[in-house]
A and B are shown apart, each in its own frame.
Chain A
Amino acid sequence: MARRPGRILVVDDEVGMREGCRRILSPEGHEVAVAESAEEALATFVPGSRDLALVDLRMPGMSGIELLAKLQQDDPDLVCVMITAYATLETAVEATKSGAYDYLAKPFTPDELILVVDKALQHRWLRLETAQLRAEAERNLLLVNAEQSRTRTVIQSMADGVLVTNREGSVVLFNPSLLRLLSIKDELPAVGQPPSRALFPEALLGWMEQALTDVEATMVSHELPGGPPNLAANIALVRDESGEPLGVVTVVRDITELKTLQQAMSDFVSMVAHELRSPLGAIAQYLDVLRAGIVKDPEKEQQILSRCRERIGGLSQLVRDLLDFSVLQKRGQIDRSVAPLNLSEVIRETVEFLTPQAAEKKVTVSADLPTHLPLVEADRSEMSRLFTNLVGNAIKYNREGGSVSVTARVTDGYLAVEVLDTGLGIPRHALDRLGEAFFRVKTSETAQITGTGLGLSICKQIIAAHDGHLEIESEEGKGSTFRVLLPRQDAVR
């Protein structure tokens, strides 16, 4: 170890000794402080500020041995050398027993002092280094512990179930989510034992076993039979550095929501297919009739063609509704351009726009709105779509000579807009299903009316996106009232 200067404290009641030591050690590069008594040394001592203490064994007042004990209590790594008047075996033993590293007998030559000091400092440096290494090792150990506890915490708090088994197929580890997902309640899996067939699905155990024997596959995914909840298991073989199998990590995940979405999507697609097929079938059937030359009456031929045209119009509407539907599904609140809106303007425009269509069906449409309507926070184009659909339906499902009226009034916290018709009304059994995508009321009266079954579903989505409500009252044969409740801007908290 390199020789380097130290910070030395000399404690001696003889001024000659103190100054002698300073004169010998300072030129060596050491920093020397002195004290003339044990009491003075203790009063000024700061732990860590000295590398070595040279202490006179016999001093008036507190002895060197007592001082040494106190100093080392304050600073365990401080190295002490005892200076004794007589180099006897007893004093050497006494000094060493009291914790001194070495002793020096008076009188001594400068070289003897330098040698002892150097040796003691070497010891000091070694001690410091050992302490540092020990501290580092402790810190490392702490890190290892923290890492383990972190991993454990992560596994314990995962929403997915985790089961780890070793090469022999015995349980090593599992987390609470595993128990929850597999409904393991009363009896816990035993660590160190193979997973019990009473607790774990047979299929899962089979896949885990297979993972250990089938060394080709590194990870397999399976869906567990049964449910809900619908569960999927990822089973991965874990190997050591030489590629030997160590065990199997099984992660069990709840995929109920995914399955529900998949089912909803598949239902939606088959409903769309059905909705496309009906009008296409009708058009094709009409065209076959025309081609077969069965129809001789030109007026009847015209009727067929206009029905075909109408069904094609219905298909176009379906495509438009589907696009709207998908936009509404994708749209978050952020994409909506919501602003304070006066609905009376939107409703008047809607009524105006639909009046020709109503006249064709010999239905009258009117809007009776108060001059001052409270504003609502809404997307203008969606509100326009909403009332076009509602008023359009009220016209479509009406009779000759019937009427549609739109009114608005202020209720507790809401603006209520009512679309009232004197139309066909809705059968009681159909009321609950109204607004389901593609659901249409089918009676002999509605058979001729083209519709997509998406309009009201779109309305419901728009209303829900605006934190509103839709209420429907209807009496079959008399008519229906569709009441839209939208939060008033002046009532929004």
Chain B
Amino acid sequence: MGERKRVLLVDDDADFLNAVRMTLEAAGYDVISANTAKDAIALLRESRVHVAILDLMMEEPDSGITVAHFLRRQPEMTGIPVILATAVTEKTGFRVPMDDADDREWLKVDAWVDKPVSPAVLLREIERLSGG
């Protein structure tokens, strides 16, 4: 078994973070987490991560996007896949097509998952985006 992959988890709900952390750790991932966009950016500056899972809405409505954009502006981090976890889509019908490369580029996000997220779906997305 090679190097354990590290996942950055960002969500303002401590219990949600804890539950996802358990899922990922059980699957063999190393997890670091933050409650705010600010803390997340601080974590990204000091440790290398393979995948970032961000909540769309934290203390500010688009904090998830803020972190994603920060990631994209750092040359050494541009390759880190970003998964946006959000509860917005169901209610508002706000759905972004992920098939188009331009759309993906504009959003700086590689995948969207609905909250609550099924552990199986989340693990499959991480596998797919981090290249197995």
* Interface membership of A44, Cβ < 8 A: no
Interface residues of A in 417-475 (CB under 8 A from B): 442-444, 447-448
Complexed CA–CA distance, A304 and B12 (Å)? 18
Are B16's CB and A294's CB within 8 A?
Answer: no
Complexed CA–CA distance, A311 and B16 (Å)? 11
* Interface membership of B75, Cβ < 8 A: no
Complexed CA–CA distance, A281 and B19 (Å)? 10
Contact of A285 among B12, B20, B35, B36 (CB under 8 A): B20
Are A311's CB and B15's CB within 8 A?
Answer: yes
Could you tell me the distance in whole angstroms from the C-beta of A285 to the nearest C-beta in chain B? 4
Complexed CA–CA distance, A448 and B35 (Å)? 10
Are B58's CB and A442's CB within 8 A?
Answer: yes
Residues in A neighbouring B57, C-beta threshold 8 A: 274
Complexed CA–CA distance, A279 and B22 (Å)? 17
Are A286's CB and B19's CB within 8 A?
Answer: yes
Residues in B neighbouring A300, C-beta threshold 8 A: 22
Binds A, one of B64-72, B96-104, B114-122: B114-122
Could you tell me the distance in whole angstroms from the C-beta of A286 to the nearest C-beta in chain B? 5
Could you tell me the distance in whole angstroms from the C-beta of A278 to the nearest C-beta in chain B? 5
Q: Tally chain B residues at the interface, Cβ within 8 Å.
A: 25
Are A295's CB and B22's CB within 8 A?
Answer: yes
Complexed CA–CA distance, A282 and B22 (Å)? 13
* Interface membership of B62, Cβ < 8 A: no
Are B23's CB and A282's CB within 8 A?
Answer: no
Are A442's CB and B19's CB within 8 A?
Answer: no
Could you tell me the distance in whole angstroms from the C-beta of A312 to the nearest C-beta in chain B? 11
Could you tell me the distance in whole angstroms from the C-beta of A318 to the nearest C-beta in chain B? 14
Could you tell me the distance in whole angstroms from the C-beta of A133 to the nearest C-beta in chain B? 76
Are A292's CB and B23's CB within 8 A?
Answer: yes
Residues in A neighbouring B16, C-beta threshold 8 A: 278, 281-282, 285
Residues in B neighbouring A292, C-beta threshold 8 A: 23, 26, 119-120
Complexed CA–CA distance, A254 and B83 (Å)? 46
Are A278's CB and B22's CB within 8 A?
Answer: no
Residues in B neighbouring A289, C-beta threshold 8 A: 19, 22-23, 119
Q: A285-B20, A289-B19, A289-B23 are in contact. Are A444 and B119 (CB under 8 A)?
A: no
* Interface membership of B59, Cβ < 8 A: yes
Chain B residue at minimal CB-CB distance from A295: B22
Complexed CA–CA distance, A447 and B19 (Å)? 14
Are B119's CB and A294's CB within 8 A?
Answer: yes
Could you tell me the distance in whole angstroms from the C-beta of A488 to the nearest C-beta in chain B? 40
Could you tell me the distance in whole angstroms from the C-beta of B69 to the nearest C-beta in chain A? 20
Are A307's CB and B15's CB within 8 A?
Answer: yes
Residues in A neighbouring B58, C-beta threshold 8 A: 442
* Interface membership of A129, Cβ < 8 A: no
Q: Tally chain A residues at the interface, Cβ within 8 Å.
A: 26
Contact of B19 among A273, A277, A282 (CB under 8 A): A282
* Interface membership of B41, Cβ < 8 A: no
Are B87's CB and A282's CB within 8 A?
Answer: no
Residues in A neighbouring B116, C-beta threshold 8 A: 280-281, 284-285, 288
Chain B residue at minimal CB-CB distance from A288: B119
Chain B residue at minimal CB-CB distance from A277: B87
Are A448's CB and B14's CB within 8 A?
Answer: yes
Contact of A282 among B13, B59, B118 (CB under 8 A): B13
Residues in B neighbouring A311, C-beta threshold 8 A: 15
Chain B residue at minimal CB-CB distance from A303: B18
Are A278's CB and B23's CB within 8 A?
Answer: no
Are A288's CB and B118's CB within 8 A?
Answer: yes
Are B22's CB and A294's CB within 8 A?
Answer: yes
Residues in B neighbouring A447, C-beta threshold 8 A: 12-14, 35
Chain A residue at minimal CB-CB distance from B12: A442
Chain A residue at minimal CB-CB distance from B22: A289
Could you tell me the distance in whole angstroms from the C-beta of A212 to the nearest C-beta in chain B? 40
Interface residues of A in 342-389 (CB under 8 A from B): none
Interface residues of A in 263-284 (CB under 8 A from B): 273-274, 277-284
Residues in B neighbouring A284, C-beta threshold 8 A: 116
Chain A residue at minimal CB-CB distance from B25: A294
Residues in A neighbouring B118, C-beta threshold 8 A: 288
Chain A residue at minimal CB-CB distance from B120: A292
Could you tell me the distance in whole angstroms from the C-beta of B10 to the nearest C-beta in chain A? 12
Complexed CA–CA distance, A281 and B18 (Å)? 12
Are B18's CB and A307's CB within 8 A?
Answer: yes
Complexed CA–CA distance, A280 and B87 (Å)? 11
* Interface membership of B105, Cβ < 8 A: no
Complexed CA–CA distance, A232 and B57 (Å)? 35
* Interface membership of B127, Cβ < 8 A: no
Chain A residue at minimal CB-CB distance from B24: A294
Residues in B neighbouring A280, C-beta threshold 8 A: 116
Are A285's CB and B15's CB within 8 A?
Answer: yes
Residues in A neighbouring B13, C-beta threshold 8 A: 278-279, 281-282, 447
Complexed CA–CA distance, A444 and B17 (Å)? 12
Interface residues of B in 37-68 (CB under 8 A from A): 39, 57-59
Are A444's CB and B35's CB within 8 A?
Answer: yes
- 13 example contacts (A-B, Cβ-Cβ < 8 A) are as follows A273-B91, A281-B116, A285-B15, A292-B23, A292-B119, A295-B22, A295-B26, A304-B19, A311-B15, A442-B12, A444-B35, A447-B12, A447-B14
Nearest 7 Cβ contacts at the A-B interface = A282-B15, A285-B19, A284-B116, A447-B14, A294-B26, A282-B16, A442-B59
Residue numbers of B with Cβ under 8 A of A are 12-16, 18-20, 22-23, 26, 35-36, 39, 57-59, 87, 91, 115-120
Residue numbers of A with Cβ under 8 A of B are 273-274, 277-286, 288-289, 292, 294-295, 300, 304, 307, 311, 442-444, 447-448
Given A307-B18, A444-B35, A444-B36, 11 extra CB contacts under 8 A: A273-B91, A281-B87, A281-B115, A286-B15, A288-B19, A289-B22, A292-B119, A294-B23, A294-B119, A442-B58, A447-B12
